Amino acid sequence: MRHLILLLALALACTTTAQPTWRFHLAFEDGTGARDTIWMIYDTSATVGSDFQPQVDYALGEGDAQLDYTRFNVFTWNWDGDSTKIHAYPYTEFPNFDGTIIDAINWTPPMTITWDTSLFHAPYLPYDQGHIGLAVMNGLAFSQFNDGTLDFGMLSMLIRDSVQIDFLSEYLFAFAVYFDAVDDIAVAEHDSGRTTLRVWPNPAHAVVHIESPGSRVQELFISDVAGRQLLELAYPGTTGPLDVSTLGPGTYFITLRTNQNQRYHATLQKIP
């Protein structure tokens, strides 16, 4: 009986201390009133996939969304390369949500995007700093809203809960969404416009120079607007000149991770 009581107590403790699922959504409404939603989730059961080891969290909804290609849809991609409306990370990755790429079909401007800023302060999240410190949408369409504290084309999601874009479709989609922590040093960098990387020349033809805000570089990669990782440098230590001559003309996203697990982002325009 004593062992049974102990087991029940342990089960109750595990139940009461389990990390709740964090569900964050971006709600989209186009000029015709058509609506759709993208969900970003933290959950203890979620997995971290990769191009080399795809892991799709079907129980959390990351499976193929089975889109109706005749109607308005927003979507992202899972590790199997299928379109989905949900991207899930385990809490071991919190607070990083590194470059969820969102695309759309069959929409009419203007596009209104709304979200719940209070979720960046949800009390059950495993904060070290008290709240998610960096939440941005990154794309050319957001350049008109830039306040000077973030890089070109980045919109902070922390200080507003909606945005409306009148641009044509090729200027809005696809775009990236990033979440990250900002400690005391990173806050100062944010205030001075240094949370993003400095990349020059930009636009670039063959070679770019990348200046990181400090710390040893652990990893750097470049992805296209569809979320495909095209170039990766692991443990380069520093960021010298980077050859991008093999990339075709277009928009690319640069992500750099330091040995302190800080992530920095920039947008690169590649020209012929």
The model's pLDDT over 131-175, given as tens digits with 9 standing for 90+, comes to 888 898 888 778 777 666 677 678 889 889 999 988 665 567 878
pLDDT over 80 (residue 248): yes
CB 104 within 8 A of CB 75: yes
CB 137 within 8 A of CB 158: no
Per the prediction, the chain carries an average pLDDT of 79
On whether the pTM is more than 0.85, the answer is: no
The owner of tokens 């003309």 is 249
Structural domains in the chain plus CATH codes: 19-195 (no CATH), 197-272 (2.60.40.1930)
Per-residue pLDDT, averaged over 168-196, amounts to: 57
DSSP per-residue letters across 101-156: EEEEES--S-EEEE--GGGGG-TTS--SSSS--EEEEESGGGGGG--SSS-TTEEE
pLDDT over 70 (residue 76): yes
pLDDT over 80 (residue 215): no
* pLDDT, tens digit, 9 for 90 and up, residues 80-118: 889 999 999 999 888 877 768 898 999 998 999 999 999
CB 91 within 8 A of CB 44: yes
**Residue 221, pLDDT score:** 80
**Residue 191, pLDDT score:** 34
| Cβ count within 10 A of residue 39 | 17
**Residue 255, pLDDT score:** 78
**Residue 184, pLDDT score:** 35
Q: In the chain, pLDDT over 70 holds for what percent of residues? A: 75
* pLDDT, tens digit, 9 for 90 and up, residues 17-65: 578 999 999 999 999 999 999 999 999 999 987 766 788 999 999 999 9
